Amino acid sequence: MNNNNENLDLEDELFEHFRFEVPKGQALLRIDKYLMNLIQNATRNKIQNAATEGNIFVNDIPVKSNYKVKPFDVVTVMLSHPPFENHILPEDLPLNIVYEDDALLLINKEPGMVVHPGHGNYTGTLVNALAHHFDNLPMNSSERPGLVHRIDKDTSGLLVVAKTEAAMTHLAKQFEAKTSEREYIALVWGNVAEEEGTIEGNLARHLKDRMQMAVFADPEIGKPAITHYKVLERFGYVTLISCRLETGRTHQIRAHMKHIGHPLFNDERYGGHLILKNYVYKIQTVIENCFKALPRQALHAKTLGFVHPNTGEMMRFDTELPQDFQDCIEKWRNYGKTHNMEDEEK
């Protein structure tokens, strides 16, 4: 009898798959439309069915699909099965390990690899590869083995992975205290006016496009984010820059550069894949060739520095730009050798 009751309890149990806190500036919006903007590959029909089945909650109370969310609501989607991302399938995927010891390892992530499983990406991720190559990696606060930080799918470059609980705690504190060194190389649209500068602005989900982050002037919205940038090379239509992160928010460089009018080259989510109207008739071919050479956002995590959790030694790692990034830059250089871009911009 007890076993049967336990089985019934398990069948009736709901597992949290998504949780969102509605930001301060959100206008009233039907919850099915709100969730469509947040959950990748979700359809309105699926969301409405979930609401009909009592699987969508606002402030712990089940709601129908016509409920209108308001600022500070806490929305959760509960389903009858555990989230797939918590079931990590070990996969024999190649890892470019640039350094390893008993406490940690450094990985130079290839573009196109998702860092951890999530909605729509349950296999083929860096975490799936780590689960195959390493046993008993410590879990971070999100139950993801070894991860201290992450970079976006189409961003290439360096990641540090903790191999022990002590290393995880030590490294996480450095990232939180802003003592780690993180430098990115980015190619951005336009001729950046200043040789160097700092972008400050709280980042939170864009109010209309929930797949983007945006800068908010209201200090009560989002989290503080600071990016220091420096021009490395100018190509007239685009600029190669170095970005040093003081904070590490989601899409920080991508959102900050768009905010100052210089979205990352070929960054589809932030509009950097569009050929700027003023350039269409002048350099359409060169832009399209550069898009083919670099079919992703032009962002690479080049440098990573931190204090080793065991030895106390300051360690600094550096990587070369991947070949697709180098090919794109070379195309811009070659164009500049045969064209006077200053005259073209007039």
Tokens representing 215 are: 């800068």
CB 160 within 8 A of CB 304: yes
- Which of 160, 164, 165 shows the shortest CA–CA distance to 175? 160
Q: Which two tokens stand for residue 160?
A: 């540090």
Residue 102 a catalytic site member? no
Report the DSSP beta bridge partners of residue 227: 199, 245
Selecting among 32, 73, 152, 267, the annotated active-site residue is 152
Strands 68-69 and 29-30 come out as antiparallel
Q: Which amino acid is at 168?
A: M
Cβ–Cβ under 8 Å, residues 104 and 162 = yes
In 53-188, which residue ranges form alpha helices assigned H by DSSP? 126-133, 165-176
Give the CA radius of gyration of the chain: 23
Distance CA 241, CA 54 (A): 49
**226 token code pair:** 């600071």
**Which residues are marked as active site?**
152
